Structure 1
Amino acid sequence: MTRIAYHLAPALMLTYGAVRLIDGRDGQHGPGPAWTIGHLFFLGSLLLYGAVIAGVHARIRAIAGGGRAQRITAGVMAAVAAFGLVTFVRVAIIDIVVGLQAADPAEKSMLGDRYADVPAVLPQAVYEIGPALFMVGLLALLVQYAAVAPGRKAVAALSPVLLLVAFAAITANLDLLPVGAGLIWGALVLSARERGASSPVRSETRARVAA
């Protein structure tokens, strides 16, 4: 599942970005079928990023010689990324609900404001910064993996660089979402292909045997 998620998560994000561009040709994004379909692709992408986070975390833990500090750091960063991802999923779900209920852009904006703090279990500020934590956590995991991964360090180091450029592009302009998704795809493919990363289970087994 993790290997599939490495490809399918950014692919669905790229599809959402393309649908979003089509939806915005008239200068407005939603409501309507394109808004709903695009956000369904986006929601599917986000759910698959959960498997990506788990996969990178597992690979770090499986590397032979990984100490307790490395495992704790990886666990914390995975938790940060997962929490951010949950808040991101919340955004996608609310956008879908708002798009289905709204009859026009003005009503969509009004409903968006109404649902801004739903569910009201955390301060709204947490919901606003939450998605950024997903980006920070995933980037930190790839940086840590590049630092401890065996094999070609230059290739491993390129993965978080591509991810950082992708996040910067998306943050600067959502119209660059397809480009950002393509860069994320490249970052994850490089990480998956790095020697020794294809099978965390085998790596962990070799480490135990060597011990």
Structure 2
Amino acid sequence: MSVRPDPPVPPPTTLAAFSYIAAPTLALTYGVLRILDGLDGDMGPGAAWTLGHLAFMAALVLFAVMLRDMRELLGRSRAATVTYAAGLAGIACAFAQFAVDVVVGFLATDHEAMGPLFDRVQAVPGVPLVLYQAGPILFYAALVAFAVQLAVHRRVRFWMPPLVLAQVLLPLVSLDLIPVGSALAVIAFLPLALRARNRPVPAHA
């Protein structure tokens, strides 16, 4: 019985290849700056707070580029398109959340002054759910869903989905683990950044 060869893998655009490395690296930068910001016992406002949040906002933009490339790798299937749309919605919610954090950091004179400002934002109906609860989850769910779909279609190796899942779950254990999860994401996405034109990805490592 002949073995059907793996489908050819189209190459990424220059921007997509860059995004696979830069997005998790910027997320790692945010995680490190977040830890440094909290060394004095308080987080924000200040340079570490602002730079960290801006780094993650830039990461979110590049994650959107990544999701688009993953959709292309899956041939714009219905499942990939739904996952892509959900991922973009989640990215928009997370971006808005971090934008609020940056604005609050600029307006607040000290850490204590940030609380009332956040309270005013979260008092707006729907904001807690959309920006801080359900909304951003769509982005992380889309990352995992794309990883699984790519593995099922043999576009990536079998170990990618567990690494992406670990990236998503580690911050739920502790936000201080964001750098660890982001480092795992760099490893997970690196093969997609380096994939060559029409070179099949082996089904097994």
TM-score (norm 1): 0.81
Q: Does 2:171 match 1:166?
A: no
State whether residues 74 and 80 of structure 2, in contact with CA within 8 Å, keep that contact through their aligned partners in structure 1.
Answer: yes
2:106 alignment counterpart: 100
Q: Does 2:161 match 1:147?
A: no
User: Which of 114, 121, 129 is the aligned partner of 1:115?
Assistant: 121
Structure 2: unaligned runs, 5 residues or longer: 1-14, 200-205
Q: Does 2:33 match 1:19?
A: yes
Q: Work out the CA distance in 1 between the residues paired with 2:123 and 2:63.
A: 24
Q: Does 2:63 match 1:49?
A: yes
Q: Does 2:131 match 1:130?
A: no
Q: Residues 117 and 138 of structure 1: is their aligned pair in 2 closer, same or farther, counting only changes over 3 Å?
A: farther
Q: Residues 91 and 123 of structure 1: is their aligned pair in 2 closer, same or farther, counting only changes over 3 Å?
A: closer
Q: Which of structure 1's runs of 4+ aligned residues deviate more than 2 A?
A: 190-193
How many residues align structurally?
184
**Aligned partner of 1:145: which letter?**
L
Q: Work out the CA distance in 2 between the residues paired with 1:181 and 1:61.
A: 27
Q: Work out the CA distance in 1 between the residues paired with 2:99 and 2:150.
A: 31
**Aligned partner of 1:146: which letter?**
A
**Aligned partner of 2:108: which letter?**
A
Relative to structure 2, which stretch is displaced further, 41-50 or 53-62? 53-62
**Aligned partner of 2:161: which letter?**
P
State whether residues 156 and 191 of structure 1, in contact with CA within 8 Å, keep that contact through their aligned partners in structure 2.
Answer: no
State whether residues 18 and 193 of structure 2, in contact with CA within 8 Å, keep that contact through their aligned partners in structure 1.
Answer: no
Query: Over residues 133-170 of structure 1, what are the superposed CA-to-partner deviations in whole Å (9 max), with x where a residue is unaligned?
Result: 100011101100110025xxxx6221111010111101
2:181 alignment counterpart: 180
Does 1 or 2 have the higher relative contact order (CA < 8 Å, sep 6+)?
2
Query: Over residues 116-143 of structure 1, what are the superposed CA-to-partner deviations in whole Å (9 max), with x where a residue is unaligned?
Result: 266x6x5642332111110001110110
Query: Over residues 37-58 of structure 1, what are the superposed CA-to-partner deviations in whole Å (9 max), with x where a residue is unaligned?
Result: 1111111111111101101111
Secondary structure of the structure 2 residue equivalent to 1:61: coil
**Aligned partner of 2:157: which letter?**
A
Structure 1: unaligned runs, 5 residues or longer: 63-70, 204-211
State whether residues 20 and 192 of structure 2, in contact with CA within 8 Å, keep that contact through their aligned partners in structure 1.
Answer: no
1:81 alignment counterpart: 87
State whether residues 78 and 138 of structure 1, in contact with CA within 8 Å, keep that contact through their aligned partners in structure 2.
Answer: no
TM-score (norm 2): 0.83
CA RMSD, Structure 1 to Structure 2 (Å) = 1.9
State whether residues 53 and 98 of structure 2, in contact with CA within 8 Å, keep that contact through their aligned partners in structure 1.
Answer: yes
CA drift of 1:191 comes to 3.8
Q: Work out the CA distance in 1 between the residues paired with 2:109 and 2:35.
A: 20
